[in-house]
Structure 1
Amino acid sequence: MTPTIETILSHRSIRKYTEQAIEPEQLDTIIQAGLAASSSSMLQVVSIIRVTTQDKRERLAELAGNQPYVASAAEFLVFCVDYHRHFTINNKVNTEFTELTLIGAVDCGIMAQNCLLAAESLGLGGVYIGGLRNSASEVDKLLELPKHCAVLFGLCLGYPAQDPQIKPRLPAKVIVHENSYQPLKLDDVHDYDKKMQDYYTNRSSNQKQSTWSVEVTNKLVGESRPHIRGYLNSKELAKR
């Protein structure tokens, strides 16, 4: 097994950090790894906002749903889908198509994962913060994002001050289909639920009695940020 694969397979979300700073050279390496990511049609529609002022960090922590590690991590990066630079180059650029928003979201995810893997390979840890979309318009205003540029998620980075267990994933036989979509075998999900129930019961923090099926279906039966469409539309994105 290569060091790269070992890094990938040992991923855990880190939410507690030491006070040690990330050296500028390390941060540059992390960013360069992100910039090396694949980009659809070489559009390069991602912008990263590095938030360094403590007052903004604390406000973002509140807006993300009171997640304190947004304020305490050594670095906090906000990933945005960004067609503003393209519109500035040529104001005939039409960003209203939903496909372009999907491209931006995919490119942001690929770039951010490159950044996180690079950070983890350097002994750092991190966690994604989708909670920024809880208050997307307020985050947008705080970061002074222009038209055609929208916030998607954040990424905390720092030196780990915790050593959480690796969270079990659905097995490949549930995720990977061959040639066509295969019906779900509930027995496979039940087996996975048993693993997750054991994980939830025995992990070092936030212990609970639950299963993956219960957790995700409870989440999916309710509303999921219904304001997001209006926010994206206000940025001239995903309008048609």
Structure 2
Amino acid sequence: MNQVIEKILDHRSIRSFEDKLLSGEQIRTIVECAQAAATSSYIQAYSIIGVTDKEKKAKLAELAGPQSYVENNGHLFIFCADLHRLEVSGEMEEKNVTESIESTEKFMVACIDAALAAQNAALAAESMDLGICYIGGIRNNLEEVSKILNIPSRVVPLFALVVGYPKNRSSKKPRLPLENVYHENGYQTDDDLFKKQLEEYNETISAYYNERTKGKRKDRWTEQMVGMLSQKSRLYMKDYVEGQGLKKR
């Protein structure tokens, strides 16, 4: 096993950081690694906003949870699906690209491009022995987030990535069994087998939480997921995305 694979398999989310900022060189390297990710048809349909302003970070931390580590970290990156650049390109070339930009397909491309770039950024940061945590909580209120970050039309902030020097390294969470995730030559549709695998995983996760919290938590994975999905959240998203001029057709 090489060092790259070891680093990937050792991933865990970090939510407590030392009071130390990343250097300009570190930030640049992380962004350059993000840009090296694969991109559909060379479209590069994403942008990354680095947030250093303390007041803005504090507001974003409050909107995201509140989550203190959105404010207190080495650097805060916001990854956005971005088709604004392509709209500008259409104006430069005097071509109407609106129908394509407003399609669900191009919105999916932009989201995928941003996710691929972010994971490259995360791996680059972890290779520097920095800690990272993805923050989906910025989608709690994208109207306010957009005001704070001056987001134009055709752009949607998708998630944040906090990076910094770990203060405390959390334990590694067990992932789903490989057999539940990897399907060969077609999707495995035997739900009885799925349930058996998930029951085994439930036992693993319950034991993990029990040990990590010294008996305060023993919830199972399926219990945790269904509990989350039973709560309605971010139901405004369709209207917001369409209001940004995306996913209209």
The TM-score normalised by the length of structure 2 is 0.93
Alignment partner of 1:214 out of 219, 223, 226:
223
Q: What residue number does 1:43 align with?
A: 43
Q: Distance in 2 between matches of 1:61 and 1:175?
A: 33
Distance 2:137 2:178 in 1: 28
Which residue of 91, 110, 115 corresponds with 2:121?
115
Query: How far apart are residue 205 of structure 1 and its match?
Result: 8.5
Q: Distance in 2 between matches of 1:126 and 1:191?
A: 29
Cα distance in structure 2, aligned partners of 1:204 and 1:162? 15
Identity %: 39
- Structure 2: how far apart are the matches of 1:207 and 1:27? 38
Q: Aligned partners of 1:204, 1:11: CA distance in 2, in Å?
A: 20
1:16 corresponds to: 16
Query: How far does residue 141 in structure 1 lie from its aligned partner after superposition?
Result: 1.2
What amino acid is the match of 2:84? H
From 122, 129, 153, the counterpart of 1:147: 153
Distance 1:222 1:97 in 2: 29
Shift of 1:86: 1.0
Alignment of 1:84-95 (within 5 A): 84-91=84-91, 92-94=96-98, 95=101
Shift of 1:206: 10
* Corresponding residue SS for 1:47: strand
Whether the 8 Å contact between 2:20 and 2:73 is mirrored in structure 1 is no
Q: Are positions 1:190 and 2:199 aligned together? A: yes
- For 2:113 and 2:48, the matched residues in 1 are separated by 12
TM-score, with structure 1 as normaliser: 0.97
What letter matches 1:58 in structure 2? A
RMSD value over aligned CA atoms?
1.4
- Secondary structure at the aligned position of 2:225 is classed as helix
Q: Distance between the aligned counterparts of 1:83 and 1:205, measured in 2?
A: 47
Q: Distance in 1 between matches of 2:209 and 2:39?
A: 37
Matched position secondary structure for 1:48? strand
Residue in 1 aligned with 2:25? 25
Q: Provide structure 2 residue ranges, at least 5 long, that are not aligned to the other structure.
A: none
1:132 aligns with 2:138: yes
Counterparts of 1:93 and 1:229, CA distance in 2: 22
Structure 2 CA distance for aligned equivalents of residues 52 and 206 of structure 1: 39
| 1:54 lines up with 2:58 in the alignment | no
List runs of 5+ in structure 1 lacking aligned partners.
none
Aligned to 1:234: 243
Q: Is the 8 A contact 1:164 1:204 kept in 2?
A: no
CA contact (8 A) 2:180 2:197 kept: yes
Amino acid at match of 1:100: K
Question: Counterpart in 2 of 1:5?
Answer: 5
Distance 1:83 1:163, change over 3 A: same
**In structure 1, distance between residues paired with 2:29 and 2:72:** 21
